[in-house]
Amino acid sequence: MAFALQPVLAAACLVGVMSAACAAEVPKLNVERMCRDSATGDTAANFDAKRCLESEYRTRDELAGKWSEFAAGDRQQCTQLATLGGTASYVALIVCLEMNRDARQARAGTASQPSSTRKK
């Protein structure tokens, strides 16, 4: 079913119906709230909100360079997933996008270098 939606999503991008998912830019996510809430949620976990934000912003910068390489349908689906439940995370967004891309390439027999071994 996901494959059947790809042409529809691509057409929607062409006519501008789904501008957030089809945009050339990474969507603006409220990661500040997620990091702050995570840091105050469990004080025993020793969660550092500043480190969380730094990681999220580094990931956003990485996504900015790759955003247009991901399928429009994946961008839409993964953006929804990364913002599910009122939280937001660029880390969750890029993981979703890369997993979708890698799974598609594996099915097609054109698997690229796994994301965990890419240069940082």
- Structural domains of the chain, count: 1
Q: Which residues of 78-107 are buried (b: 16+ CB within 10 A; e: fewer)?
A: bbeebbeeebbbbbbbbbbbbebbeebeee
What count of other Cβ atoms lies within 10 Å of the Cβ of residue 73? 22
pTM of the model: 0.69
pLDDT in tens, the chain (120 residues): 444 444 444 444 444 444 444 556 899 999 999 898 887 877 777 788 899 999 999 999 999 999 999 999 999 999 999 999 888 999 999 999 999 999 999 988 865 666 655 555
Q: What is the pLDDT of residue 83?
A: 94
pLDDT computed for residue 115 by the predictor: 61
- Give me the half-sphere count of Cα atoms (radius 13 Å) on the Cβ side of residue 18: 17
Structure tokens at 103: 């799974």
Q: What is the pLDDT of residue 2?
A: 43
Domain encompassing residue 48: 2-117
* C-beta separation of 77 from 100 below 8 A: yes
Q: Determine the longest span between alpha carbons in the chain, in angstroms.
A: 50
